[in-house]
Amino acid sequence: MRAIQFVRYGPPDVMHVADVQAPHAGRGEIRIAGRASGVSPGEIRVRSGEMRDVVPVTFPFRTGFDAAGVVDEVGDGVTGVDIGDEVFGMTTSAARGANADFAVLAAWAPKPASWSWEEAGGAAGAVETATRVLDRLAVGAGYTVLVQGAAGGVGTVAVQLAVARGATVIGTASEHNHDFLRSLGAEPTTYGAGLPERVRALAPSGVDAVFDCAGGALPDLIAIAGDPARVVTIADVTAAAHGVHMSHGAPADDTAAVVGAAADPLAVHGLAIAVTLAGEGRLRVPVAAAFPLSDVVAAHELGESRHARGKIVLVN
């Protein structure tokens, strides 16, 4: 089968399609014939070598955490899903390999009828990550939460999930994305110098929690929250130096886990919540662009630009 991998650090053109042996579903797993899969911002940073000191890598490195497709193999002990079902879900962080013709999923849910394959292919990782961080921050009704980097793949989902919990959401993005953020239910503002003052004007009573999807602004985000314990980042590897929690969902013994970050329990319950919200028309997965597997280099180039609005996906 075809699968995306890289064998050395470098620019996007180190990514390539390889011919590899197809995986099979183990106990508690399913295999899908993939229709679409997500391009992970974290893996873009790993591929570039930016994360080499904090994320151990063994080459060849196969990419992809989330995918959607049709079930074609059901492992022992699995109930409630049959061959031919349409699902979306995620691999283990150790196995990865979702950017491929076939992917083994460790967590999944039925594909919402309202979602395209592209939306479903990029959904699970963003949903799990956003749910995990919002749970850690205890975001609920009456909260005011700032989402830094709100127009990206995780940020767009985090905004909608926080709104669904009854929170007031402020989201940072480039000005041309402000109307888009309003359509998701957030009050937009620009990032960069002067952010604490802009947020204070929008939330005079203060901000209860900050979800950092972008990195690079922790001192300002701590000032906005008033306490580093009320800030969680998924993007800033300097978090520990600021007393901020950096969240990842890898098992504690996963050698691909981020060194110095604490593994939080995977929020796979978020997948079922996403299905419900999608059915109610309250959750969509904005897709910035969809590329065929053979155009993975172009997909990584777009991701590296950091100007993608929503999720970048690969289609089979």
Listed in sequence order, the residues at least 6 apart from 122 whose beta carbon sits closer than 8 Å to its beta carbon are 36, 37, 38, 39, 66, 153, 285, 287, 310, 311, 312, 313
Q: Is 41 helix (H, G, I), strand (E, B) or coil?
A: helix
Q: What pLDDT does 94 receive?
A: 84
CA-CA distance, 233 to 221, in Å (whole number)?
A: 10
User: Domain map of the chain by residue range?
Assistant: 2-122+285-315, 127-263
User: Is residue 217 a contact partner of residue 148, using CB atoms and an 8 Å limit?
Assistant: yes
> What DSSP string runs through 285-311?
--EEEEEEGGGHHHHHHHHHHT---BE
Alpha helices in 68-149, H assignment, sequence order: 117-121, 123-136
CA-CA distance, 84 to 42, in Å (whole number)?
A: 31
Alpha helices in 89-189, H assignment, sequence order: 117-121, 123-136, 153-164, 178-184
The pTM of this model reads 0.94
Pick the closest to residue 140 from 225, 222, 234, 209 (CA basis): 209
Q: What pLDDT does 262 receive?
A: 55
- Six token digits for residue 152: 């990206």
Tell me the CATH class for 2-122+285-315.
alpha beta
CA-CA distance, 185 to 188, in Å (whole number)?
A: 9
Residue-by-residue pLDDT tens, the chain, 316 positions: 999 999 999 999 999 999 999 999 999 999 999 999 999 888 998 999 988 877 788 999 999 999 999 999 999 999 999 999 999 999 998 889 999 999 999 999 999 999 999 999 999 999 999 999 999 999 999 999 999 999 999 999 999 999 999 999 999 999 999 999 999 999 999 999 999 999 999 999 999 999 999 999 999 999 999 999 999 999 998 999 999 999 976 543 343 445 555 568 899 999 999 999 999 999 999 999 999 999 999 999 999 988 889 999 999 9
CATH of domain 127-263: 3.40.50.720
Residue with tokens 């700032």: 146
